[in-house]
């Protein structure tokens, strides 16, 4: 990156950009994470006890998680639900990204992208509240389905995880669409036409040509969507029922309701490890590296 910046803007600007980026990564990303890790290995002590004989590294905060069956179940449920959100978002985004990249005209693609982006000019909390209204027991969606005769009684969308899944797919769809769109757009259309001329159907063309070419975009979209879903707090808090708690809500309670930052840091670090593990798994599954994802 430095060489490219130097060739385009000169040494001074290249060094300034790299320096600012380095300071941001160290001050805003690395140091807070290291402090969180340090907190997670220390017991929760009174201010007068900090620095004393009791202030030493321990695994008690992590033992608390593995000994608490409810929190551990919520942890694995968050893992599974985040994977499900990622798969649902991929299923919704892939046809849309292919349409924008290879089917739609430039004008149609620009209009569709504009329609996708405009709702995200509104705050995430307000967008989630909009879904809360739509999915309510007496909300517009149930009223519409009842008037069309498709259902006999209103559906409680927010009695389980359905409302959370719908809200998250909507909230993070752009993070899947744009990487897929960028990857599919670079595919030579002649390869698709050649496959069709040789008798390949649509499914076989996508499976053998489009999807292999779009692997970096799929990997990037899956990683971003999973991390955002696993770390989401607003959507589960607003659209989830009491029985569909997210692991981030437990972390929030430790930090702000319980005032135990050390225990909350341990839970947050476990969530970070989960996200890093998922990212490594996706990269290995799609056989892509960081350089491929960064393109």
Mean pLDDT of the chain: 86
Token pair of 219, please?
Answer: 């990997």
- pTM, 2 dp: 0.86
Find the CATH number of the domain harbouring 275.
1.10.3720.10
Give the ranges where 152-289 is alpha helix by DSSP (H): 162-171, 174-185, 189-197, 202-205, 211-213, 215-230, 234-239, 247-252, 261-286
Query: Quick one: 6 and 107 in the same domain?
Result: no
Residue 51 lies in a domain: no
Token pair of 52, please?
Answer: 């004393």
Query: Quick one: 16 and 79 in the same domain?
Result: no
Query: Quick one: 31 and 145 in the same domain?
Result: no
Residue 258 lies in a domain: yes
Burial (0-12, 13-18, 19+ Cβ within 10 Å), 8: exposed
Residue 197 lies in a domain: yes
Residue 64 lies in a domain: no
Query: Quick one: 82 and 217 in the same domain?
Result: yes
* Residue in the block written with tokens 């004393």: 52
Residue 54 lies in a domain: no
Q: How far apart are CA 203 and CA 55, in angstroms?
A: 60
Phi and psi at 56, nearest 5°, equal -145, 165
For residue 94, the tally of other CB atoms under 10 A from its CB is 21
What is the model's pLDDT at position 94?
A: 95
Q: How far apart are CA 221 and CA 89, in angstroms?
A: 9
> What is the residue range of 2's domain?
1-37
pLDDT-derived band of residue 95, with 50, 70 and 90 as boundaries?
Answer: very high
pLDDT-derived band of residue 226, with 50, 70 and 90 as boundaries?
Answer: very high
Query: Quick one: 148 and 26 in the same domain?
Result: no
- Range name among 147-151, 269-273, 275-279 with the lowest pLDDT average: 147-151
For residue 202, the tally of other CB atoms under 10 A from its CB is 11
Q: How far apart are CA 221 and CA 239, in angstroms?
A: 23
Number of domains in the chain: 2
Query: In the Cβ-directed half-sphere of 142, how many Cα atoms lie within 13 Å?
Result: 16
Residue 46 lies in a domain: no
The average pLDDT across 129-140 equals: 87
- Does 53 or 216 have the greater pLDDT score? 216
Among candidate residues 37, 58, 39, 55, the one with its CA nearest the CA of residue 47: 55
Query: Quick one: 259 and 161 in the same domain?
Result: yes
Among candidate residues 280, 116, 109, the one with its CA nearest the CA of residue 184: 109
Query: Quick one: 97 and 3 in the same domain?
Result: no
């Amino acid at each position: 990156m430095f060489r490219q910046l130097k060739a385009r803007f000169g040494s001074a600007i290249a060094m300034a950009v790299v320096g600012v980026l380095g300071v941001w990564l160290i001050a805003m990303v690395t140091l807070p994470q290291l402090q969180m890790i340090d907190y997670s290995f220390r017991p929760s002590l009174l201010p007068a006890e900090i620095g004393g004989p009791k202030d030493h590294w321990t695994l008690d905060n992590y033992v608390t998680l593995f000994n608490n069956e409810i929190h551990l179940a919520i942890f694995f449920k968050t893992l599974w639900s985040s994977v499900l959100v990622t798969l649902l978002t991929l299923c919704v985004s892939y046809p849309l990204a292919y349409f924008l990249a290879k089917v739609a005209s430039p004008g149609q693609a620009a209009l569709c992208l504009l329609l996708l982006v405009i709702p995200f000019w509104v705050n995430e909390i307000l967008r989630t509240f909009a879904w809360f209204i739509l999915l309510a027991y007496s909300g517009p969606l149930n009223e519409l389905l009842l008037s069309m005769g498709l259902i006999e009684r209103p559906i409680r969308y927010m009695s389980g995880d359905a409302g959370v899944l719908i809200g998250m797919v909507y909230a993070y769809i752009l993070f899947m669409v744009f990487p897929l769109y960028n990857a599919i757009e670079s595919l030579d259309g002649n390869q698709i036409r050649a496959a069709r001329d040789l008798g390949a159907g649509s499914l076989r063309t996508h499976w053998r040509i489009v999807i292999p070419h779009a692997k970096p975009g799929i990997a990037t979209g899956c990683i971003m969507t999973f991390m955002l879903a696993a770390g989401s707090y607003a959507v589960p808090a607003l659209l989830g029922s009491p029985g569909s708690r997210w692991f981030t809500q437990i972390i929030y309670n430790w930090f702000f309701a319980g005032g135990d930052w050390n225990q909350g840091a341990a839970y947050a670090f476990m969530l970070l490890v989960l996200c890093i593990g998922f990212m490594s798994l996706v990269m290995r599954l799609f056989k892509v590296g960081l350089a491929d994802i960064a393109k």
